[in-house]
Structure 1
Amino acid sequence: MQKRMSESYTVKTSNVMPPDTNSHHTLYGGRLMEYIDDVASIAARRHSRAKVVTASIDSVDFLEPINLGDVVILESMVTHTGNSSMEILVKISKETLDNDCERKLAAFSFLTFVALDDDYKPLQVPTLIADNERLKWLGETGKERSEHRRHRRERSKALREFFATDLLD
């Protein structure tokens, strides 16, 4: 089975209110990560039509502070698939709703989700069809990002032994 990338496209928009901000009056990184995981999980579910779990977050690259009073817009979509895994891109923009109504790219992140069946075992997901040339490039470069994640996961497994004891021991 195949699905278009656009079928998983998901948008989340939120006001940045005082409880969402730190002492610099910018959006807490942890709050943004919560939003990222939420919108990415919806895109993964839309693609797989199954239960999903977050397998990894590659990084969150913060490019612009998101300030108190801004609107934060998160756009997500499945950009690459494996057998049961899905890579999700989340593009984060900020928008000021004053006279300028300026929108800027504030951050982006790639996450990996795994689809699960009713017994919580990995479930095969549909392959992807790119809707246009830009999305085709994302899909083609997804294999390289997937390989990078595989190497990082192997290093993490090796570090598991290191972290098995207290750091000060």
Structure 2
Amino acid sequence: MLQGRKQLKELVKKVQAARDEMQWGEEGPPPLLVKIAPDLSKEDLEDIAAVSLALRLDGLKMMFSCSSIIAIIISNTTISRPDFVKKYPVAEETGGLSGKPLLNLSTNILKEMYILTRGKIPLIGCGGVFSGEDAYKKIRAGATLVQLYTGFAYGGPALIPRMKAELVECLERDGFKSILEAVGADYR
């Protein structure tokens, strides 16, 4: 299992070493992003957090410079099926589930990783984001950035300005001057 502490640490170090041996422009090497599943155990999450912190990865660099840092993307698709999905005939099909059914599960894992990393690693919240309010939930749970996939596929480019406006409303409602102020607000 690649989520085990020893295996993950070895893998990340090898990828970082290979990346650092390559020639890059003035901007330096791209960041290393590790995407995790929402179905991980508490022990798996602790191992991932420990490896990220042990490699002395600087979370704030991602906001200003993408060189030599790591971020954790939370989360990939899930193999679990929430109760409200089980009633559909296709729910028994194998494979990963994405979209709206992933929102709460992935946000809970995001919160856990924010707590375990003590806010020192950039976290990218994804899974079930279809609105500014959804993105705001990810931010308050600890996301530095928010990734769209299924929501963008359904909402198209018009989703972005709508989400931005909704995010501004959320920030104003809760008295934040910037998104950075809201990162992890529910768990600090």
TM-score using structure 1 length:
0.31
Higher relative contact order (CA 8 A, sep 6+): 1
Indicate the structure with greater helix content: 2
Indicate the structure with greater strand content: 1
